[in-house]
Chain A
Amino acid sequence: MKRTRFLLGTISGLTLAARSDSLFGLAIAQPVLPGNGSAVAERVLVVVNLQGGNDGLNTIVPHGSPAYYRLRPSLAIAPSDVLAIDREIGFNPKMKSLKSMYDNGLVAVVQGAGYPEPDHSHFRSTEIWQTGVPERIENSGWVGRFLDESKLPESNLFNAVAVSPVLPQVMIARSVDVPAIESLSGYGLESDRNASERSAYSSVLRNGRMPFNSPYLATVAEIEDHAQRGSEQLPKLVAGYRTSASYPATGIGRSLALAAQIIGSKLGTRVIYVQHGSFDTHVSQRTPQDRLLGELSDALKAFYDDLAAHGNDKRTLTMTFSEFGRRVAENASRGTDHGEAGPMLLVGGGLKGGVYGQHPAFDRLDNGDITYTTDFRSVYATVIEKWFACPTEGIIAGTFPTIAALG
C-alpha cells in the first residue's frame, strides 16, 4: 500500500525516475547470474513470517549439546528422533519433507539470526524484523524499500502480493501499492452486476472537489481503485495455471499454493509474503510447535514440487523469519518464554544448501537467551544483493557481510 498522499507519491516518483537509471541499467546489463540460469528480473522472493516467535532450538535441534538436554528436561527432542544434519544439529522430527529437500541441496539454514540489544516484545521485535531497522521507529518495510528502489512498472498492480488479510509492515512501500489477498475466491466485487454499475463504480471513486479534507482520503480512493481493477484482472491473469502438486489442507498450504499460482502466471511479481503461526508457545510447546513445523515443511515441499513442475523452482527463493527465538530453559508450563536469536531458513533451487553461521553457544547466553551470531540484516543484504542484484543503499542502513548461500 502506498501510505502517502498522491502529491507526495508523484514527487517521489519523479525523484526515483531521475536517480535510479543506474539501478535499472544494472539489471539489464546483467540479466543472468552465473550458475543459476534464471534472469534476475524474473526472480521472486517468498517471505514466510513464522508469527509469534518460533523456538529455534526445537526447529534446528542441537542434539549434540548436553546443555540443551539439561535445560529442557521435558521439551528436548530425543537424539534418536532428530533428523540429523550432522553430529551437532538436525531438523525437528516433523520436518521430514524439508529434510529431504535439505539432502537435495535446496535448503540453507542460517544459524543464530538476530540483532543487537534484542527486544523481547512481540510487537517491537516484529517491527524490527519487518522494517529492518532496529535503531529507531521506521514506517516502511525493508521489502517495501526494495520495491521502491526497483523502479517497477506502476501499471502493474501485482509487483508484490501479501497473502494475508491485512498488509504486513514489511510490504509498506512509498511508491508501490501492495495488495493483500487472502484467497482468490474472496478477491472480487460480487456486486459487478451490470456494466452501468461497473463503470459508475470506478468513476465515483475519483475524488473531484471534496467538501472536506482527510489525511486518509487519497489513500482510500487509491486502494479502492486498485482493488476494483486488480480483482477484475487477477482471476483472468492466473486462470491458466494448473497446480501440479497436492498441497496439504492447511493455511500455509493454501497460501503457498496461491503463491505458486501467482509466480507461475508470470505477472512480474517480485515478492510474495505469506504467514504461518502462532508460534507463541508459552505453554505445552511440543504438540503445537511440532504440528506447525510439520505443516510448514509439508507445504514447502508441495510448493517446490509445484514450482519445479512449471520450471519456476530456480527462480523462486523462500526465506523464513520470526520475531525472536525463545528462551533456552523451558518454563514451568512445558513451554518457553520470549528469547533472542533463532535460525532462518532459505529454500530454493537457486541457492547453495548447507548450514551457515555459528551454532547456538550455550556457554554464552544473554540472560538465558541465545546470543545472535548472524545479524538478520546480513541475510536481507544477501537477498537484495545476490538474489536481486540490487545495491542495498536506501534499503538497509549500514554494511553487512553477505552469506555464501547465494551468488
Chain B
Amino acid sequence: MAIMNAQPSFRPAGPLSASPLAPYTGPWNARLAAHLLRRAGFGGSPSDVARLARLSSGEAVEAMLFVPAVDPLPALPPLVDDESALRVTVRNAKHEMAANEMSPDAYKIVKKQRGFERHEQERADVAWWLNRMLATNAPLQEKMTLFLHGHFATKTRSKGIYGLDIAEQNALLRRHALGNFRELVHQISKDRAMLKWLDGARNVKAQPNENYARELMELFTLGIGNYTEHDVRESARAFTGWTFRKPDGPVYFDAAEHDDGVKTFLGRTGQFDGDAIVDIIMAQPAASKFLAGKLLNFFVYNEPEPELVEALAAVLRKHDFDLKPVLATLFQSQVFYSDRSYRALVKSPVEFVVGTCRLLGVSEAQPEFFAVLTRMGQLPFRPPSVKGWDGGASWLSSGTMLARANFVSSVLAVPATMQSTTWLTQGAGFDSAEASHRLVDGILQGDASPESVARLKTYLDDADSGQKLSVENFDQRMRGAAYLTMAMPAYQLA
C-alpha cells in the first residue's frame, strides 16, 4: 500500500535550461548584485549593493572571490582563559580536596568557575567569528568557512573539545575555504578537534573505532550508498595512529598504534594509510557529485536536479577540487541569476543576523547574539550533530520566526542603530509614500507586494492618531516601519 502524502518539494518550479552553468550574459542591476551579495557573502547596505551594481557582473564576482594575502582580522579568538591552565587549577583543587586541604564545597566552586570560564570562552569564540563576518572584505571566504563548518560539523564543549580546538579547526577551514577540497579532507582527518569529535584519537590498531571512517564517507565525501560496512571497517584500520598527547597539544602520527596491514577498500587492496584512503575516496565519481549537491543546496537552491548536480560535479573534477574556479563558475552561471535561484533559499540564522547587522550598520556582534542564534536554531560551533544543520525548511518554525522578529526589533530599538542606518534616515523628507519605497527598496530590493507597500504607508501616516509623519515621530515610525518591512516574507529568503 502506498503512503498517500505527496512529497512536498522546495525545488523551484519549471524546467532547467539546457546549459545551466554557461556564463550569464543578461542585464546587471542592483537586484542581482544584492542577490550575489546575499549568497556569496552576508548581504549589505544599499551602498554596498550599489557599489557591486556599478561593476560588471564578472568584476562583481571577482570582488566576492577576493582573499587578502595577509588576513587583517584576528586569526584566533581572544583567549579568555587558558584551557590547560583551567584543567591544572581543577586538578590541583581535586588533590587538595583528597588531602583534606579543601572542602568539597570549595572544590565545587572551583569546578563551577571553570564551567563559567568555558562558557565565557565559547561566547568570545562566537562573537569573534560573527565579527569576522561583519568586518571582512573577503566575504566568500567567510561564507565558505561557514559552509565547511556545517559540512565538517564539529561541536564545541563536547567530547573534550574546547575553545582552542574549535578555533584552530575554524582557521583550518578558512585557509582552505577557497583552496583545494581534497587537501582539506586530508587535513581535517588529522585535526585535533575532529580527532576528539569522531573518536579518531581512540582509533587504535588493537581496537579500531569506526566513527570517523563512517562519517567521512557518509557525510563528508561520498554519501550513503556509495560504500559498504566492510569499507567502513577497513578504512577505520587505515586511519589508526593519528593522535595527540596533551588535550591541546599537537597532533602526531604514532606508528606503534597504526595498523599497517593490507586492507581492501572500495575494490582496491593495499597497505593503505589514512591519506591513501582519502585519495581513493576522492577519486570516486560519487565524491564530486556529493560535494556539488551540497554546494548547490547551500548557494543556489534546494533539491537541485541530478543534471545540474552532475554539471557542477564535472566542473569540480575538471578543476581537481580547487574550489575557487568552481565557485567562480557557479556565481557567473545562468542558473544562478535565473528566476529559479532568486529568493529560492531560506536565510540561515547566521545569514539573518549578520545580514541584518550589515544592512543596519551594526559593526560589532552584541553579547545577546549568542542567545538569539540559539533560539533561531543555529549557534556557530554548536551544530546539532555531525550532519550539520539541515537548512531549508528546517529553519522555519513558529518559534524560530518569533526569534527572528524579536531580534530585528531589539536591534532597531538601540538608538545607535537608527543613527548608523543613514540610508534610512538622512535626506528623507516626511513623505510617507517616498519613505515606504525607500524601506522596501533598501531592505528588500523592492520584493514586496503593492498591498504591503501600501500598508507600510498607512502605518507611517498613522491614520488613527491623525498625526502625519513629522520630525517629532520620524525616528520612531521609521523604526516601526523597518521592523514591519523585515517581517515581510521576502526578508526571510536569501
Contact = CB atoms under 8 A, between A and B. Distances in A.
A166 B394 contact: yes
Contacts of A331: 207, 209
A337 interface: yes
Given A121-B214, A223-B401, A203 B3 contact: no
Contact of B204 (A203, A204, A332): A332
B226 to A, nearest CB: 12
Interface string A200-212: 1101111111111
Given A181-B399, A208-B450, A196 B229 contact: no
Given A121-B224, A208-B452, A3 B8 contact: yes
Contact of A1 (B13, B224, B393, B448): B393
A3 B392 CA distance: 11
Given A197-B484, A216-B493, A282 B399 contact: no
A38 B339 CA distance: 53
Which of B5, B344, B390 has the most CB atoms of chain A within a 10 A radius of its CB? B5
Interface stretch (A70-78, A133-141, A382-390): A133-141
Contacts of B396: 1, 167, 216, 219-220, 223
A224 B387 contact: no
Contacts of B462: 196
B402 A189 contact: yes
A59 B406 CA distance: 41
Contact of A182 (B159, B399, B450, B492): B399
A140 B493 contact: no
A213 interface: yes
A210 B453 CA distance: 11
Contacts of B406: 189-191
A216 B490 CA distance: 9
Contacts of A165: 374-375, 377, 397, 399-400
Nearest to A182: B399
B224 A190 contact: no
Contacts of B399: 165, 179-182, 186-187, 227
Interface in A312-341: 331-333, 337
Given A120-B229, A190-B409, A208-B450, A223 B398 contact: yes
Contacts of B485: 204
A220 B493 contact: yes
B405 interface: yes
Contacts of A265: none
Contacts of A283: 159, 199, 202
Interface stretch (A25-33, A292-300, A349-357, A392-400): A392-400
B381 interface: no
A148 interface: yes
B313 interface: no
Interface of A: 1, 3-4, 8, 12, 119-124, 133, 138-140, 144-145, 148, 162, 165-167, 174, 179-182, 186-191, 193, 195-197, 200-201, 203-217, 219-221, 223-224, 226-227, 230-231, 282-283, 331-333, 337, 367, 393-395, 397-398
Interface of B: 1-13, 159, 199, 202, 204, 206-207, 209-211, 214, 218-219, 224, 229, 301-302, 339, 342-346, 374-375, 377, 385-387, 390, 392-403, 405-406, 408-410, 446-452, 455-456, 458-459, 462, 464, 480, 483-485, 487-490, 492-493
